[in-house]
Amino acid sequence: MAINEDLHSLEIRVLKALSEAGSEIGTDDLSKLAGIEKISATRTAYFLSTKGLATLEEKTDVLFKITDEGLQVSIDGLPEKRVLSSIARIGNSPLSKIPAISGIDAKFVSITIGHLKKAALVELLKIDGETIVSITPRGEEFLKMRTPEEEALSKLSSGEETPLPEDISALLLHRKWAELVERKSHRAKITEAGLALVAGGLKEKENSLTQEILKSGRWKELEFRSYDVSAPVPAPVPGKHHPLHSIIDRIRKIFLQMGFTEERGPFVESTFWCFDALFQPQDHPARDLADTFYLSNPSVAKVPGELVPKVKAAHEHGIIGSKGWGGTWSESVTKQLVLRTHTTSVSARSLAKYKPPAKIFTIDKVYRNETLDYKHLAELYQVEGIVFDESVNFRNLLGYLKEFYVSQMGFEKVRFRPAYFPYTELSVEPEVFIEGKGWMELGGAGIFRPEVVRPLTGLEYPVLAWGLGLDRLAMLKLAQTDVRSNYQNDLAWLREVVLP
């Protein structure tokens, strides 16, 4: 197959334009010469380069762009000229009055006078204890000339991005009148093989077989371009879910397949459901402003009147032989509104709603007054679950967690470290082993204490419960080192990432 049989009509036009140009040409000029858009000219020149008919080089130019401050200076004039003009207009001027007559802030006038004196454009005299500024002959000449800075600002103020001499660019950057910008450009040139092909004559062929060509019968007379199926093409970028949402969907599917029912709860929650119903004492440090976001408007929540006395009794006096936390439990405190700090509030609501046997889970956001770093966020996801049944025990809890992390999520090593939480006993923190990083804690779990279950259900059944951190889990599954990366919409990463 001759190479000219494989040329698209755009390739023929660009090849002829390159031949006409004779030497290397930018793709801006190439697009005008070929009569096509710049992006088409660049892409077509690239395809020609893969066939040895042209060369295409990318070049990065460092240009300068005027800033808002520089644009204002181009309108008002250089500060040193404004000061000199004021002095020349009025004559010898007291230093203290120059800000008013020049319209420039006093602190900048002082700096400008210093520069002018150093350049011998003004001189300072002491008369009757007052500093007088006098323009020199050199300063009068300076007022009449157009400086390189003014020339550069005038050019930049038109919106043009341009290279500048090193000394002028350094000055404009130092005074924040201009900023650096990088611009990529492409330059193309026809090769000897391309010139030979043009010299031999290029015949434009039909690119596609259309319905009109078929119906008219013209296909019998036309010549069609052949296609190179091995030619490089841009990688397809199909639409897809955000990786974090894909992991959420996977976890949701896991619990649904295990027979759980999904529940949701409000982001703005009363401290009754967020803390009190979970037997967390009202003076617990986790309730402090240092950890919790409290609402000021509205600030008071509605709480379930039939449950309040039962929860109060559990806190003050305990249940089934326990002593509770003692002291006086405040109903006004339990009505405070917060951004929920954990989705265990959904578990508490579910206990009051469902009868055993029941398996409930939720995947949702919680909010904590955390210092942001590579493994902490102020807004994060949790995976919460409970199993409410008279026959379950601690071994069942470990079994559920192991099934989730090992069998379903693919972690090879999981261990359970003893822990303490106000509302569970026994309590554990599941940890997974990550090569090169060691053991990482991913949540908390345990069996709800009777002081949680009895006031909400009237029963004394065991309730398996867990609250697992989803963001750290996602960070590990997506091979990231910073949990904040889950929320940074880096398009290159989003296009390339593949869920394991």
CA distance 105 to 76: 14
Per-residue confidence at 72, pLDDT binned at 50, 70, 90?
Answer: confident
Distances (CA, A) of 348 to 55, 239, 267: 69, 38, 14
Mean pLDDT of 28-38: 90
Residue 365: closest CA among 230, 482, 268, 447: 268
CATH number at residue 402: 3.30.930.10
Q: Is the pLDDT of residue 207 over 80?
A: no
Q: Which residues pair with 358 in a beta bridge?
A: 388
Instruction: Write out the two tokens for 190.
Output: 């026809």
**40 and 17 housed in the same domain:** yes
Q: Does the pLDDT of residue 277 top 90, yes or no?
A: yes
Task: State the pLDDT confidence band at 228, using cuts at 50, 70 and 90.
Answer: low
The band of 476, judged by pLDDT with boundaries at 50, 70 and 90, is: confident
User: For residue 207, what are its two tokens?
Assistant: 């690119």
List the single range of 250-259, 319-328, 424-433 with lowest mean pLDDT: 319-328
Q: Cα dihedral sign for 64, 67, 72, 77?
A: negative
Q: Report the DSSP pairing between strands 261-262 and 358-367.
A: parallel
Is 69 a domain residue?
Answer: no
Same domain assignment for residues 317 and 413: yes
492 and 427 share one domain = yes
253 and 112, same domain (yes or no): no
pLDDT for res 266:
95
pTM, 2 dp: 0.58
Coil, strand or helix at 425: strand
DSSP 8-state symbol, 187: E
Rounded distance, CA 312 to CA 454, Å? 12
Residue 154 belongs to some domain of the structure: no
Domain boundary among 234, 255, 271: 234
User: Does one domain contain both 412 and 465?
Assistant: yes
Domain that holds residue 118: 79-146
In a domain, 157, yes or no: no
**Triad 353, 354, 356: Cα angle to 5°:** 150
- The yes-or-no verdict on residue 158 having pLDDT over 90 is no
Q: Are 433 and 439 in contact (CB under 8 A)?
A: yes
pLDDT for residue 412: 87
pLDDT digits (tens, 9 = 90+) for 299-311: 899 999 999 999 9
Residue % of the chain over a pLDDT of 90: 35
Q: Residue 285 is encoded by which pair of tokens?
A: 């440090």
Residue 225 lies inside a defined structural domain of this protein: yes
Two tokens, residue 277 = 């119903």
Q: In whole numbers, what is the pLDDT of the chain averaged over residues?
A: 86
Structural element, H or E, at residue 211:
helix 211-216
End-to-end CA distance of the chain: 44
Q: Is residue 68, in this structure, part of any structural domain at all?
A: no
Fill in the DSSP letter of residue 36: S
Q: Where are the alpha helices (DSSP H) in 329-374?
A: 331-334, 344-353
Rounded mean pLDDT, 49-60: 88
Which comes out higher in pLDDT, residue 130 or 48?
48
Contact status, residue 244 vs residue 474, Cβ threshold 8 Å: yes
Residue 477 falls inside a structural domain:
yes
Burial 311-336 (b: 16+ CB within 10 A, else e): bbbbbeebbeeeebbeeebeeeebbb
What digits encode the pLDDT tens for the residues 325-375?
A: 988 999 999 999 999 999 999 999 999 999 999 999 999 999 988 877 777
Q: How far apart are CA 20 and CA 7, in angstroms?
A: 18
Lowest mean pLDDT among 60-69, 263-272, 406-415: 60-69
Q: Is the same domain home to 385 and 478?
A: yes
The reply to whether 406 and 259 lie within a common domain is yes
pLDDT mean over 319-327: 87
Other CB atoms closer than 10 Å to residue 238's CB: what's the count?
A: 5
Q: Do residue 273 and residue 136 come from a single domain?
A: no
Find the mean pLDDT for residues 56-70: 85
Residue with the two structure tokens 């040895």: 52
In a domain, 472, yes or no: yes
| Cα–Cα distance, 14 to 20 (Å, whole number) | 10
Q: Per the domain annotation, does 74 fall within a domain?
A: no
Q: The domain spanning residue 105 has which CATH number?
A: 1.10.10.10
The domain tally of the chain equals 3
Q: What percent of the chain has pLDDT over 70?
A: 97
- pLDDT band at residue 122 using 50, 70 and 90 as cut-offs: confident
Task: Answer with the residue of higher pLDDT: 133 or 282.
Answer: 282
pLDDT digit string, tens, across residues 248-260: 999 999 999 999 9
The DSSP bridge pattern shows strands 443-448 and 424-434 to be antiparallel
Q: pLDDT band for 2, please (50, 70, 90 cuts).
A: very low
95 and 48 in a common domain: no
Domain stops at, among 234, 257, 276: 234
Under DSSP, is residue 370 helix (H, G, I), strand (E, B) or coil?
coil
pLDDT value, residue 426: 92
Buried b (16+ CB within 10 A) or exposed e, 46-64: ebbbebebbbbeeeeeebb
Domain stops at, among 106, 121, 146: 146
The lowest-confidence range among 42-46, 369-373, 432-436, 474-478 is: 369-373
The most confident of 91-100, 285-294, 468-477, by mean pLDDT: 468-477
Whether 311 and 190 map to the same domain: the answer is: no
Q: Which residue type sits at 485?
A: S
**Region for residue 277 given its phi and psi (left: phi exceeds 0; alpha: psi -120 to 50; beta: otherwise):** alpha
H-run or E-run covering 427: strand 424-434
Check whether residue 305 and residue 446 sit in a common domain. yes
Mean pLDDT of 191-219: 83
Looking at 83-92, 137-146, 397-406, which range is the least confident one? 83-92
Q: What is the pLDDT of residues 6-19, one digit of tens each?
A: 688 888 889 988 99
Residue 6 sits in the same domain as residue 108: no
